[in-house]
Amino acid sequence: MANSLILTILPLVVLICFALPNVKAATQLYSFGQDMWGQLGVRSGIGGANNFIQSTPSSIVTSQFPQTYASVKFVEGLSYYSSLMLVRDSNMNIIKIMGNGYQSYLPNFSTGNGFYSVQLSPAQMMDFSGTVSFVQNGKACSILGTKDAQSNLMLYSWGDSKHGCLGDGNTNSSRGVVNSPVSVVIPDKCKGDNLKQVSIFDHVLLFCQDSLGQYIYGFGLNENGELGSSLASSVYTPTLLSMTPLSGKIITKVAASSKFSVVLTSDSSVYVMGTLLNCFSTTTLTKITGLPIDTTQEAIVDISVTYYHILLLTNTSKIILYGNKIMNLGQYITSTTTCGSSVLTSLVYLGSKPSKVFASNEVIMVISNNNEIYTLGNNQNGNIGNGNTSDISGSYKIDSITIPSGNIISDATINLNGNYLATSDTMYCNGVSYTNAGVCSGHGTCVTQSCICAPGYFGRNCEEFTCFGLLKNSASVCSGNGKCSSLDACQCTNGATTSNCTGPATSNSTGKQSDANSHGQSIGLMVLLCAILLWIGTLNL
């Protein structure tokens, strides 16, 4: 009887204790816009460059995808000549990089045809050593990050070497376009897990953080001061940027656009450097003022950029457009000056809440919380997705994609030529299901396979936070008398028990420690129970 009972419950115990991701999801891929260089991936085979316009969402060709793939992640970035996708298996391991576009901008790739240089449909790219952790596309160069078995970070780049966008330190101006990946010089402050974000256009920003502080390194084009005044017009090696105006601030995101850079801090301040026509021309990080946001009630949680505008998404689902009032999207800025900002929320969607905003060449695409897709802006290349290339007033809801019941928009992005969408019956962020309470470290929302962090949290997995203005791993956090366990929550040692571990106990600090201890004890009991049941099972089998 006992043996029978054990045999009955043992499989259930295994499922509870060692739950695995679902098997292959029903993934569908779509794109629309201009397919000049085959970036959309909706046509088969190879060909030459031509001004082909796909003005409604069309299925991406998947004939060369690995048969074992379960999900696809579009590589983000404002690329012009190529598109890349990360293909994962059911365990969320990247098994192949797929790419399409102009062969010179695809890593170590050739169409094999001396006459046709454009790969129209996604093809399998080269394999990289180590475990691929991310890929980021820029206008004319790309960067890929891998880690070896010892978690050592390796960065590779390929593309146009003209202004130092490859970051390998080679100043040879005659190299032209390099499609054989080269090694990017990695600053010591960015090694290991210290690299938090990469953003690329014609210049590259590396946002890094260690126990001593935060750093922004830059390389590439600097003709407009996008990397500051102290650097040359072309920077060939990652170089530390001046961050004096950010003293005392906590950086959460960076963004590189045409001619300017953007930095977001944890107090929802937005700093810019470089040139944005009619708005600013500065070679030092300068704060944008007058944004329509009440920072006592709401916070900026995401940023995206176009040539002439900056899009800001708040935790209250407000979309703020800032920039040049004259250029395309500027028609939706109500300011009476040539540069200003306005809230787009009521214009972009009807009844649903924006979850993610993508922006590119004067076009924005919004994904809502109920799987609706809205576009707004320049439609000369069919990027609105309404079936023609005529500009329209206001936003357009894309309803030509049928999302099966139970499926979601699992990924999306936009580059300088096209818009990309994926639907699936599941979605993961950093290997964790979007429905899991622990996704994004329990401090954010998984949207299109990226984490949108709650105010105060940042990093790819919302794993970074502060305690009373200090980074969680700072030597002086919690007054040097405790551990920063979550946002503004110290677990004190040495008898110090105030909220910042400086004096006598308070109800606030005691409560947070008690909650943390209780949570830890619950997890410990569950692990112990699983171990005991599995051990009993082995004795009776």
Identity at 309, one-letter amino acid code: H
How far is residue 441's CA from residue 453's CA, in Å, rounded to a whole number?
9
- The two structure tokens encoding residue 193: 């897990």
CA separation for the pair 159, 166 (Å, rounded): 7
Yes or no: say if 41 and 87 are a contact pair by the CB < 8 Å rule. no
Return the bridge partners of 418, or none: 33
Determine the Cα–Cα distance for residues 301 and 303; give it in Å rounded to an integer.
Answer: 7
Three-class SS state of 244: helix
133 in Cβ contact with 147 (< 8 Å): yes
Domain ranges of the chain: 469-540
| pLDDT value for 355 | 92
Q: Which of 476, 474, 450 is nearest to 462 (CA)?
A: 450
**Residues 84, 142 contacting (CB under 8 angstroms):** yes
Three-state SS for 377? Answer: strand
Of the candidates 294, 249, 298, the one whose C-alpha atom is nearest the C-alpha of residue 271 is 249
Q: Which residues of the chain have a pLDDT value below 70?
A: 1-25, 347-351, 504-541
Q: How far apart, in whole angstroms, are the C-alpha atoms of residue 167 and residue 220?
A: 7
Whether the CB-CB separation of 76 and 413 falls below 8 Å is answered with yes
Per-residue pLDDT, 538: 47
**What is d(CA 345, CA 293) in angstroms, rounded to the nearest whole number?**
13
Angstrom distance (rounded) from CA 49 to CA 36 = 5
* 8 Å CB contact between 434 and 407: no
Alpha-carbon gap, residue 413 to 339, rounded angstroms = 27
* pLDDT score of 14: 40
> What is the pLDDT at residue 2?
46
Check residue 137 and give its pLDDT.
Answer: 95
Start-to-end CA distance of the chain, whole Å, equals: 13
DSSP assignment of 185-228: PPPGGGTTTTEEEEEESSEEEEEEEETTEEEEEEEEE-TTSTT-
Tokens representing 440 are 């994004």
Tokens of 498: 């105030």
State both tokens at 180. 């054989």
Residue 349: per-residue pLDDT: 64
Burial of 44 (0-12, 13-18, 19+ CB in 10 A): exposed
Q: Which residues contact residue 409 at a Cβ distance below 8 angstroms, ignoring those fewer than 6 apart?
A: 367, 371, 373, 403, 421, 422, 423, 448
Of residues 156, 259, 152, 252, the one with CA closest to residue 203: 259
Q: In what order do the strands lie in the sheet with 234-240?
A: 195-200, 203-210, 213-221, 234-240
361 backbone dihedrals φ, ψ, rounded to 5°: -75, 75
